[in-house]
Amino acid sequence: MSLSRRVTGGAALQLGARLFSSAVALVVTAVVLARTLPEAEYGRFCFYLTLYLLTMSLVDFGVNKAAIRLVAAGEETRGEVIDAAIRLKAIAGAAAFLIMSVLALVAEDGLGTRVGLVIAALHALGHGFGAASIGFEVDVRFRVPAQSVVIGQAVFLLGGLALALGSVDEASPYLIAWGSGLVVQNLWMWSRWRAVEPGKASRLDSALVRRLIREAAPLGLSAVAVAIYYYTDTLMLRPIHGEEEVAQYSTAYRLMGVGLMVPVLFSQVLFPVFTRCRQRGGDMLASAVHGASFYLALLATVGSVVLFSYAPEWLELVFGAPYRDAAPALRVVAVAMACVYLTYPHTTALIAIGRAADFTRITVVAAVLNVALNLAVLPTYGVVGAAATTLATEAFVLVASIWFLHRRVGFTGLSRRLLGPAALAAILAFTIHGPLEEVPWGLAIVATVGIGAVAAVLMSAFPFSLGVDEALLETE
């Protein structure tokens, strides 16, 4: 199979696996658990799930990407690099397990809860096996990694639904189900890799491990910084305001997270395009960044306005009536979501032009800013303060990425084309709170999306085009 076909197929497989994973997460952690668990227990579940996601970022620390670069560049032997990555992440996973276990034993009451959370934390011990994906990704073969994600999420889905049908109303069994899915996912990946390349007994190459750590450090620092400012508000809410506030905030943040899947997936496609545009000249890259910003702004306009205007209705539909009180926080993070959409073309362009160090600087400062703001506002403003901190952080990342991109290449994604989405936002807001105010909210959303589609046609958004000569971007 040709490289181009592998790239296309790999992108499709990644998209399908991510969509399935997101759907499972929404069904189990939102629709099912918000209605099954008492609010305090749902807050405990959200707290520990956030802790586990942050811990995974710490354990990963950019090791996979660094290993892929070393193997793809021919600088190290594939088997030795993958073996070193597995062992390195296994050591980090063991340390993470100990830390999470101690936290559960100290912070929780009740023997059953403590034991359950320690068992749930066992997933960290199997995290190293996930490094086996390097062997497939370096060859641009994503069938096995996609399979592993689907299989792992299926385990979580079946386990979560079985517990809910059994009327289990404690958080720890559901966290065990989530961790079990992750362990199955990683072990499946490792077993498929070992079927391709049987393992050989070898000593850990300390020099290779040190080189892997050096290669991973910049990428890992960025990933950890992003994880900190994504998750720290949830983790800080619990000791200050308790599980109920965590539950309320998590509902708003989770809805925003579903919407953020769009720019994340879009940026994966944009990265190689931006890289090739840069090789052809700054004008072509500028056109591509302007085009990408326009499309993401158009999507952000419709999504953010709908989420902002019908916040209570969305919360009740997905999580249930008790969570309508999180509407003010959801409205704030809906605005933050729009900032994220506009940020992605800028940060993707920075990395594409070889300025990953600038992205690292932005994310590290954003993490420090987020923690400081949370310490200042959470005690007084609670959930709404956490949402405001998220908005302030994302606004900073957007402004900083615009500034760095302009400084490095002399342009940004801001252009006159963005006046169209800005005008559309005003039109939609007026329509929703005017002619559509008495219309049932479901029909009003359909009408809003329809207005957005008509506006997109008038703004020449179809057919999709980044405004560059695509023939020039073909590989030689």
Q: Residue ranges of the alpha helices (H) in 353-440?
A: 356-409, 419-432
Q: Do 178 and 293 lie in a common domain?
A: no
Angle at which helices 419-432 and 282-309 cross, to 10°: 10
Averaged pLDDT for residues 229-241: 85
Please check whether residues 285 and 208 belong to one and the same domain.
no
Q: Give the pair of three-digit tokens for residue 319.
A: 């999580």
- Is residue 138 very low, low, confident or very high in pLDDT (cuts 50, 70, 90)? low
Q: What is the pTM of this model?
A: 0.78
Gap between the Cα atoms of 279 and 353, Å rounded: 9
- Report residue 303 as tokens: 């999504």
Task: Tell whether the model's pLDDT for residue 72 goes beyond 70.
Answer: no
How high is the pLDDT of residue 417?
Answer: 92
Please tell me the distance from the alpha carbon of residue 453 to that of residue 327, in angstroms, as a whole number: 26
Q: In angstroms, rounded to a whole number, what is the distance separating the alpha carbons of residues 102 and 117?
A: 10
- Three-state DSSP class for 281? coil
Q: Are residues 218 and 254 in the same domain?
A: no
Q: How far apart are the C-alpha atoms of 459 and 36, rounded to whole Å?
A: 45
190 shares its domain with 337: no
Task: Round to whole Å and give the CA distance between 415 and 104.
Answer: 50
Question: Residue 251: which of 386, 374, 370 has the closest Cα?
Answer: 386
User: Does residue 63 contact residue 131 with C-beta atoms inside 8 Å?
Assistant: yes
- Are residues 413 and 362 part of one domain? yes
State whether 223 and 329 are in the same domain: no
Please tell me which of 35-44, 239-248, 400-409 the model is most confident about, judged by mean pLDDT. 400-409
Report the distance separating Cα 122 and Cα 227, nearest Å.
Answer: 21
Residue 220: pLDDT band with limits 50, 70, 90: confident
200 vs 80: CA distance, rounded Å: 10
Q: What is the residue whose two structure tokens read 């090739």?
A: 276
**370-390 pLDDT per residue, tens:** 999 999 999 999 999 999 999
Peptide bond preceding 463: is omega within 30 degrees of 0, i.e. cis?
Answer: yes
In the three-class reduction of DSSP (H, G, I as helix; E, B as strand; rest coil), residue 3 is classed as: helix
Domain end position, chosen among 241, 271, 298: 241
Q: State yes or no: pLDDT of 2 exceeds 50.
A: no
Nearest to 370 by CA among 397, 331, 338, 347: 397
**Which residues are CB-contacts of 376 (< 8 A; sequence separation ≥ 6)?**
none
Q: How many CB atoms lie within 10 A of CB 249?
A: 28
Are 342 and 387 part of one and the same domain? yes
Nearest to 132 by CA among 89, 69, 72, 96: 89
Residues 152 and 294 in one domain: no
Q: What is the mean pLDDT of residues 116-140?
A: 82
* Same domain? 300 vs 443: yes
212 lies in the same domain as 343? no
- The number of folded domains in the chain is 2
Helix (H, G, I), strand (E, B), or coil: what is residue 256? helix
| Residue 1 pLDDT exceeds 50 | no
Distance (Å, rounded) from C-alpha 373 to C-alpha 233?
A: 9
Q: 207 or 293: which carries more pLDDT confidence?
A: 293
Task: Please classify residue 389 by burial: count the beta carbons closer than 10 Å to its beta carbon, then call 0-12 exposed, 13-18 middle and 19+ buried.
Answer: buried
Contact 11, 143 (CB under 8 A): no
pLDDT tens figures, 261-312: 788 777 766 776 777 787 777 788 999 899 999 999 999 999 999 999 999 9
Q: What whole-number distance in Å separates Cα of residue 87 and Cα of residue 93?
A: 10
Cβ neighbors of 23 (< 8 A, separation 6 or more) are none
Please indicate, yes or no, whether residues 359 and 257 belong to a single structural domain of this protein: yes
Same structural domain, 163 and 287: no
Pairwise CA distance, residues 175 & 184, whole Å:
14
Cα 106 to chain centroid distance, Å, stands at 30
d(CA 35, CA 73): 50
Of 241, 267, 293, the last residue of a domain is 241
Mean pLDDT of 150-155: 87
Q: How far apart are CA 134 and CA 190, in angstroms?
A: 10
Domain that holds residue 228: 3-241
Of 241, 263, 297, the position where a domain reaches its end is: 241
Residue from 460, 413, 425, 415 nearest 301 by CA: 425
